[in-house]
Structure 1
Amino acid sequence: MLRTLTAALLLAAPCSAGSWPPALSGGRAAAAPVPEASAPALADWTVMYFINAKNNLESSGLMDMNQLELTGSTDRVKIAVELGRMNGQHEGDDHSEGDWTGVRRYLVAADRDTTRVNSPVLEYRGAADMGSWRELVSFIEWAKVNFPARRYALVLWDHGNGWLPVDDANAPDFYSLKGFSLDDETGHEFSLPQMARALEATGGVDFLMLDGCNMGMASVSYELKDYARALTASEEVEPGVVVRYAQFLGLLNSRPGMGAEEFAANTVRTYRDYFVNGGGDSEGDPLTQSALRLYRMSAFREKLDAWALAALRAEPVVLRAAAAKARFYGEFPAYKDLCD
């Protein structure tokens, strides 16, 4: 009792100069009070970019990171990035910026130098496997904890291949043949159900952008319908150079209170404007880009199922002829356009 009372009196008494911290009985010093860490301020949007450039898209990954720096983060819009590079890929090895390799995480800072990434690195991830859905989970969790916001957007950037794996060697490992984010260093990519699993594990997002080829498909959208409100993707092969990130993020910075559907529509408009007015090179491929309301995919599936049943009742010869004439995308005749 005496020991407790003595300690209480010492802690309550004013301290003379040089006497802090006061000595407790037994010769130990009282710990100075530690102020509680303040939570990060809540932004309107946190836009998360998962840029897997550990393949022949390395130069494009660096270019797009520099595009993000033209806008940079603000108090109301945070841009968080995981960017990966490697050496030794079969083509497209880029030795610029000191030829660094590995995986880095950034909060993008505004910068007008488009020849070098100048945003500070917040975390080094070593040779993390960006073809793993678990690495995607880790990145989303990191971004949401460090840059909390009222709304979240996720941009998945890399090779995409609709409902086929990017690398045929990965087909036996897929429980559903849909692929994205090929990491040449590990040879891994994640399937579409794994992408959905990552989004489910991290609470989903408001807007999802699949910045890769052949991802604008009904099957892709249906798989992801419960984990985002709006989606942007392309049915067709995407050109290697598309300069639009600074444009649609600039629109977001000017109206940070916009919702997911407006954000999605702006990404499509800036894509169109780049090729129609901005001199973009389509590389000979047709250009497609769509913004979808994912919460309507269940109703769409009902209509699609009804259409499929009606089609199955048609004469087989007529059905095969119609299928043969329908427009397809990329290099895969099975990627048909339902509008045809």
Structure 2
Amino acid sequence: MRYLLFCCYFIISPVFAIYDLVSIDITPSNEGTTFCFLVDGPQKSLTMYLALTENEQDFSFFDDKLALTPLQSDITAPVFLTKKMRPSCFGPYPHETLQSLKLYAGAGTSFEEVIKNKDYIQFFNGFPSLDRAEKNWTVMVYIVGSSLERVGRTTKGYASQDILEMLAGTRNSPSHDINLLLSTGGSSRSGWKTVKRSLVRNGQYYVLEDLGQQAMSNPHTLTDFVNWATTEFPAQHNALILWNHGGGTQGFGQDTAQSANAKMMSLKQLHEAYQTIRQQSGKPLDIVVYDACLMASIEVAEITATVAQTLSASAELEPGHGIDYEHLLRHISTSPPTDGIAFGQVVKNGYIQHSKEQGSFEESQITYSVFDLTQLPLFTETFGQFATEFKALLQKKGFLDYQTLSRGIIRAPGYPLRQTGQLRSLRSSTDNKQVRIDLYNLLQTIGPDFDAFSESAQTLLHLLDQVIVDYEVNDNVKAIKTEAGRMSIDIGITDTGHLSTLPAAYTLFNEGLVYYDERRQKDNYKPEAEKVCPRGMTCAFAQWLELEANDILGIDAYFGQKQDDRSTIYLIEPKVYQYQALSTDLELTLDGKPACQYQLCVNDSHCEDITLTQQGQQLLADVSLNDSPAVLSFCQKAVCGVAQQIGGIWGRDDILYPDDKIIPNTLHVQLKQIEQRQGNPLTVENPEQVTLKKSCEAKKGAIWIGYYSLNRQEKIALLCDSGDCICQENDVDPGCQEIGF
């Protein structure tokens, strides 16, 4: 009875990620319940085992013909399913037949391995008893699976992993005072093509309804779910969690069940859903939690205030794992929060700790904020005054000081920070119509320079401190700006459809930005650098440039290698200088050692040249990933993340998978012109083998600077292209000796 003892002892543990290996589709209907299974994990020799029991002592296993074999010590359990192209289904079975049954699924290369590694889980336990007694909290999770659930047989099922966290977080809960309701769908994975409503209770997942094919990006689908959950499962407090892709002013929720390039629910549609929910509920939700990227924006806060008192979200890209549902559910069960702010702080603390445990805290840009939306009306009123003053100043014919505004805007970090890695020559093709920058930093940098709105800008900073009641960021964000990561604002002027759903202040502010852009576009001035040779023995070959600081908004450094009459830029160090008020001359020194060749390698024999951008301690690379734009990030030489952009929508910060196709981009200089080129495709076999290769030949080293004026028009100047401005060890050049060689 060895196998039986193993089953009985370990059956309480729901930690096995069965949904990463097998799609389990439970569909209730009037005729009964149907079960469908599809082995779709990445392993080649994967088998599934299916067992049932009524008393948790006597187990019987299904074979592929649905015949049952009682488990005995001398009998190996039959295989139920191996990899196929289509799901295997059975049913429907009436309620009475299934009520007393418990079903278990396991997956592995053999039954012995499944038992040894505890690779099994209980996925069906009859039907729950439902009552309408008022609980303390009803938590509603709206999960649009999309590309985050699974694409093909290689990527992870992040939605299913979070459902497993929910099972773990509710198992053996000391409190039964929580309703946890899920609405799932919106993905092309088997079991996710229809919309299901489910209940999670005490570690068990109960599918209550299958609504058939519905678009989860339709605001009515969201409205109906919240109305159903709050009506059928009443509580003193209500929390709504939106799970999927997010885009700030682009909206939320990309349903890819029918089309991989489906549109999101726009911000206007999300607002319509919130208005309907608020009208039907009679009271605001305690909190809306966005388990989605880029949703900690002032625009999202404005529309969320329609339906809730609190908001929690990240201004950055989230890692694939998202928030920690086990932490959240265990905490609110043992120490129930009294309001939305306390709930949001539990979410934030769990997200930060989860990021540390998963390794993304060191590798990604981690931010998370909690907003008290009851404080937002006073901010909005004051922002209206600020926007009026801002627009009035910019539209004055006599206003010529747009340059000062440029200096302020460029010092505010943009989101996602990974976007820094996109080569400028490619940005038009990635459809970046949104320009998200840090709202707090923007007010800090432009406010003091303009008397016309300095007072209102300072007041807004004070009010933001009241709205943002809690936030936390990691060192990767602090390295860009110490106070960054709280909340973003979209200053784009080309895609402004979201403005119609926001207070008038945001349209006024955007109109002021249009006046600013018009003045910038009319300014064709490009600063000229004078060649000078203040000292050194290599002046005959290398160039030293003198620039007028007041004319320069910023300087980027470009490092590369020269080959015949063509040079390749391999490394960009952006913003080696940003405008600052100077009382004395400023000398910038560039270390020439990074002027090397960089290649992206998927193994020892397959490498391609690549252009990288330095961001803090990481290197970023603009690539094509599976025919869509993406940014790879490297920690040391290894890939530590990838953020893909499909149809202008940023995905979560993810990892590479086997069979991913990468096409690297490089910048080349020829005849004083820069052009971008694509390399040959590279196919990932083992993601752990993808790395950077660096080769340095000092005599081929080349350095340029790109300096851009106050109108942000950039000019490229060559410093050297034959290694003659790169200091060597024990160099006799006085300039090299001065900086330590």
Taking structure 2 as the reference length, what is the TM-score of the superposition?
Answer: 0.35
Q: Which one of 74, 77, 86 corresponds to residue 178 of structure 2? A: 77
- In structure 2, distance between residues paired with 1:62 and 1:318: 50
How big is each residue's C-alpha offset from its partner over 1:80-124, in whole Å with a ceiling of 9 and x where there is no partner?
Answer: 00111543xxxxx5x6xxx6642211110232xxxxxx5121001
Q: Which one of 251, 265, 268 corresponds to residue 190 of structure 1? A: 265
Alignment of 1:1-340 (within 5 A): 40-58=132-150, 59-72=157-170, 75-84=176-185, 86-87=187-188, 101-111=193-203, 118-164=204-250, 179-186=251-258, 187-202=262-277, 203=281, 204-242=284-322, 244-256=324-336, 258-276=338-356, 278-282=357-361, 284-309=363-388, 313=393, 315-330=401-416, 331=419, 334-340=435-441
- In structure 2, distance between residues paired with 1:163 and 1:242: 20
Q: CA deviation at 1:228?
A: 0.4
Report the AA paired with residue 303 of structure 1: T
The answer to whether the Cα contact below 8 Å between 1:311 and 1:319 also exists between their aligned partners in 2 is no
Q: Classify the secondary structure of the residue corresponding to 1:129.
A: coil
Structure (1 or 2) with the greater helix fraction: 1
- Tell me the matched-pair count: 273
Q: CA deviation at 1:219?
A: 1.2
The answer to whether the Cα contact below 8 Å between 1:242 and 1:280 also exists between their aligned partners in 2 is no
Q: Classify the secondary structure of the residue corresponding to 2:290.
A: strand
How big is each residue's C-alpha offset from its partner over 1:2-34, in whole Å with a ceiling of 9 and x where there is no partner?
Answer: xxxxxxxxxxxxxxxxxxxxxxxxxxxxxxxxx
Q: Classify the secondary structure of the residue corresponding to 2:238.
A: strand
How big is each residue's C-alpha offset from its partner over 1:195-227, in whole Å with a ceiling of 9 and x where there is no partner?
Answer: 222222223411111111111001110122131
- In structure 1, distance between residues paired with 2:404 and 2:169: 53
- In structure 1, distance between residues paired with 2:246 and 2:323: 19
57 and 324 in structure 1: CA distance in 2 versus 1, 3 angstrom threshold: farther
Q: CA deviation at 1:60?
A: 0.6
Structure (1 or 2) with the greater strand fraction: 2
The answer to whether the Cα contact below 8 Å between 1:129 and 1:188 also exists between their aligned partners in 2 is no
Q: Classify the secondary structure of the residue corresponding to 2:249.
A: coil
Q: CA deviation at 1:257?
A: 5.3
- In structure 2, distance between residues paired with 1:61 and 1:129: 17
The answer to whether the Cα contact below 8 Å between 1:49 and 1:154 also exists between their aligned partners in 2 is yes
Q: Classify the secondary structure of the residue corresponding to 1:55.
A: helix
The worse-fitting range, judged by mean Cα deviation, of 133-142 and 194-203 is 194-203
- In structure 2, distance between residues paired with 1:275 and 1:75: 28
282 and 239 in structure 1: CA distance in 2 versus 1, 3 angstrom threshold: farther
- In structure 1, distance between residues paired with 2:324 and 2:315: 18
The answer to whether the Cα contact below 8 Å between 1:67 and 1:243 also exists between their aligned partners in 2 is no
Structure 2: gaps spanning 5 or more residues: 1-129, 151-156, 395-400, 420-431, 442-741
The worse-fitting range, judged by mean Cα deviation, of 145-154 and 313-322 is 313-322
The answer to whether the Cα contact below 8 Å between 2:186 and 2:216 also exists between their aligned partners in 1 is no
How big is each residue's C-alpha offset from its partner over 1:233-283, in whole Å with a ceiling of 9 and x where there is no partner?
Answer: 11111111135111122111112352111111111111122234x243258
198 and 100 in structure 1: CA distance in 2 versus 1, 3 angstrom threshold: closer
How big is each residue's C-alpha offset from its partner over 1:291-325, in whole Å with a ceiling of 9 and x where there is no partner?
Answer: 00011111112333444455554821110121122
Instruction: Point out the structure with max Rg over C-alpha.
Output: 2
The answer to whether the Cα contact below 8 Å between 1:239 and 1:282 also exists between their aligned partners in 2 is no
- In structure 2, distance between residues paired with 1:39 and 1:248: 24
Structure 1: gaps spanning 5 or more residues: 1-37, 88-92, 112-117, 165-178
Q: CA deviation at 1:125?
A: 1.7
283 and 56 in structure 1: CA distance in 2 versus 1, 3 angstrom threshold: farther
Q: Classify the secondary structure of the residue corresponding to 1:44.
A: strand
The answer to whether the Cα contact below 8 Å between 2:288 and 2:304 also exists between their aligned partners in 1 is no
Report the AA paired with residue 155 of structure 1: I
State the identity as a percent.
26
Report the AA paired with residue 257 of structure 2: E
100 and 274 in structure 1: CA distance in 2 versus 1, 3 angstrom threshold: closer
Q: CA deviation at 1:327?
A: 0.4
The answer to whether the Cα contact below 8 Å between 2:217 and 2:253 also exists between their aligned partners in 1 is yes
191 and 100 in structure 1: CA distance in 2 versus 1, 3 angstrom threshold: closer
257 and 292 in structure 1: CA distance in 2 versus 1, 3 angstrom threshold: closer
The answer to whether the Cα contact below 8 Å between 2:185 and 2:192 also exists between their aligned partners in 1 is no
The answer to whether the Cα contact below 8 Å between 1:196 and 1:224 also exists between their aligned partners in 2 is yes
The answer to whether the Cα contact below 8 Å between 2:290 and 2:312 also exists between their aligned partners in 1 is yes
- Partner residue, 2:61: none
Pairwise CA RMSD: 2.3
Report the AA paired with residue 132 of structure 1: N
The answer to whether the Cα contact below 8 Å between 1:104 and 1:122 also exists between their aligned partners in 2 is yes
257 and 158 in structure 1: CA distance in 2 versus 1, 3 angstrom threshold: closer
The answer to whether the Cα contact below 8 Å between 2:296 and 2:369 also exists between their aligned partners in 1 is yes
308 and 194 in structure 1: CA distance in 2 versus 1, 3 angstrom threshold: same
- Partner residue, 1:17: none
- In structure 1, distance between residues paired with 2:200 and 2:305: 29
